[in-house]
Amino acid sequence: MILLDKKTYNIMIAFVSSLPRIPETVEYSGADDGTAFCGIQTNEAGIYQLQHSLREAGGLDRIILVTSKAVRETHLGEAWKSLFEEYGCPAMSAIGFLKERVKEKHPELAERFEESAFDEDAGTEGAMRYIAALGDVIQREQEAAEAAGLHDIVLHADMTGGFRHTSMMMLAIMQLSKYMGIRIGHVLYAGKDRNAPKGNIVFADDIHRMFDMIAGMDEFQKYGSVQALDEYFGDTRAYSEPFRSLLGAMRSFSDAIRICRTSIIEKELESLGEHIRVFRNQSGGPIQEELFRRIIRVLEREYGTVLGSGTSEERRLNIIAWCLRKKFLQQAMTLCTEWIPQIIVDKRICYTEDIFAMRSCRKKAKSSLRSWQQEFIISHDSTNSQKEEKIPYGDAGDMFRYILKYNRNDLIAELPEDLQKPLHSFFHAYNSKLGVYANKDILLDSINTNNASLRRAIDQLKKSAKQQKQVKGLFYRLIPERLGFLSEALVMKIFSLSAADIARPTKTSAPQPTVEDLRAQREEKWANREADYRRMFSDSNRIMRSDLPPDEALAYLRGYFDIREERNQSNHAVVTADQESSKLEKTITAYIEKLRAYQRAVTP
């Protein structure tokens, strides 16, 4: 029965020891407050210790006793006969004797035992199967406790008794339990030197928790995560300032890489490297710090290429390569998208000497949160041609604005019937005055109309122009196009429509592209961009330049284009990415190495 006011469910697991040849009562000094415990069978002291230590939490809720064939067999030793008779038995097994002894001292534990039989001759595979089965037993206890409202399940381990390889099996059981969400509590051992007057009970919790620290370092080394280290060290106020600062730097880098904050990753890595060096050169402090200092060199080796010095270009390529090794594919693609254009420009694979092109790219880059090199490589076009958007089939609100922006009256029939009427009315009023007002400036000239939507449209465009400090140059003939560039909310206000009115599909559904469609679209997109590149490479003013022959430069640009497209597809959850992850990792790795190997020609 689980007490109503309990908060924690405590499970103990122990491998039962055989009975010694001659019974002897041994006194053990307790592990925590010095309380002494006496026992004949070696597992007794561990049970008494835990029941005492957990008394304020209601004691042990379940004691799982793992039994070998030997401890299940009846013990017939003459020296034990009188002891067995005290419990009304002429002979007893080791497990039977242990339970009677514990019940005598702690009657409240009488119904809390669970025996689990193990065949010690089953071999390694048998031991592994047994561990899995014992995991099921522990999980049932976990489920029962959680059903009773207790979600803090703690497993305590008595490492005292048992047979060969018991300790390895116990460690495996603890790790399995931890994976199931069970917290590991006390790990204890009761022992007595042969000539010592009394034995000792030792809590080996801190020794066992070294596994957690090493696992935490492994987690950070492999995945850049500090969660396990944070759990291990907990409240760090007892540790030195250099150590706390190092853990903070690890945490900051973990956050930066996990959410791909590309603007600060380099700075966080630089900070991490400096804090590692400061901590490594320190000495003293708690034992946990000393242990951490011993294994920090492994971390330095693993992060060496990204912590080390070098040019910005080398460091960035190293960081991308590190992300690929750690299987941070999304982060690697994002870093490629943001960093590679600058490397391409700096290496003069594709660059410009045109000041006006740079100024144009810088201006556009500010609004799109890109570098000017990104803008230059991704979208700069010396013709400044506007590429028409795709028709937004599937969304009535987007279609409404598209019709205005591109004056596509032929698409009005795609809208729900009640949305067609206000557009027809608007265009009828607009077109009826077009012959008179086409070249009139609505910011300077008075426009007469009885159509409420057209009137509101003119007023809103004048208001927007005033906010942008535009005083002239807004012609009547441009009204529909300018409306299409307004926000959806403003357009709906002008036409007296609600969100519910526009949150409907068009009559033609949005196309659902297949994988083949996506590949064809990518090839078409590249063909268009390649044409832009070739034109800018060959124009008389040579907006784009390269130290390489055009086809070689275009190979680098195509590689960047493909990586960026893969990243965009994965970001927008399209049908599928074009490449499997492993293939994509190899493709990006090869591209990074190709960039790394290319040496910019030195101009004499």
Residue with tokens 């009188």: 82
Entry pTM: 0.70
**Per-residue confidence (pLDDT) for residue 147, from 0 to 100:** 92
Residue 573 has pLDDT above 80, yes or no: no
pLDDT in tens, 415-469: 999 999 999 999 999 999 999 999 999 999 999 999 999 999 999 999 999 998 8
Q: Are 431 and 410 in contact (CB under 8 A)?
A: no
Could you tell me what percent of the chain has a pLDDT over 90? Answer: 62
596: Cβ contacts below 8 Å, ≥ 6 apart: 314, 317
pLDDT of residue 231: 87
Give 385's pLDDT tier (boundaries 50, 70, 90).
low
pLDDT of 309 reads 63
Residue bearing the bigger pLDDT, 530 or 235: 530
Which band of pLDDT confidence, cut at 50, 70 and 90, is reported for residue 571?
A: low
351 falls in which pLDDT band (50, 70, 90)? very high
Within 10 A of 384 (CB to CB), how many other CB atoms are there? Answer: 7
Strand bridging mode 183-191 / 92-93: unpaired
Residues 6+ away with beta carbon under 8 Å from 218: none
Higher pLDDT, 99 or 257: 99
3 state SS of 424: helix
524 by Cβ neighbours in 10 Å (0-12 / 13-18 / 19+) ranks as exposed
Per-residue H/E/C for 465-491: HHHCCCCCCCEHHHHHHHHHCCCHHHH
Give the pLDDT mean for 85-102.
93
Residue 569 pLDDT grade (very low, low, confident, very high; cuts 50, 70, 90) = confident
Of residues 598 and 1, more confidently modeled: 598
Q: CA-CA distance, 133 to 125, in Å (whole number)?
A: 12
Position 415 scores a pLDDT of: 95
**Cα 172-213-267 angle, rounded to 5 deg:** 140
Question: What tens digit of pLDDT does each residue of 401-413 get?
Answer: 999 999 999 999 9
Structure tokens at 460: 């809103």
Residue 62 predicted with pLDDT over 90: yes
pLDDT band at 483 (very low <50, low <70, confident <90, very high): very high
Q: Output the average pLDDT for the chain.
A: 89
Question: pLDDT at position 387, please?
Answer: 62
Summarize pLDDT for 151-203 with one digit per residue, the tens: 999 999 999 876 667 888 999 999 999 989 999 999 999 988 888 888 899 99
Residue 93 vs residues 90, 190, 264: alpha-carbon distances, Å: 11, 21, 66
Structure tokens at 386: 């506007």
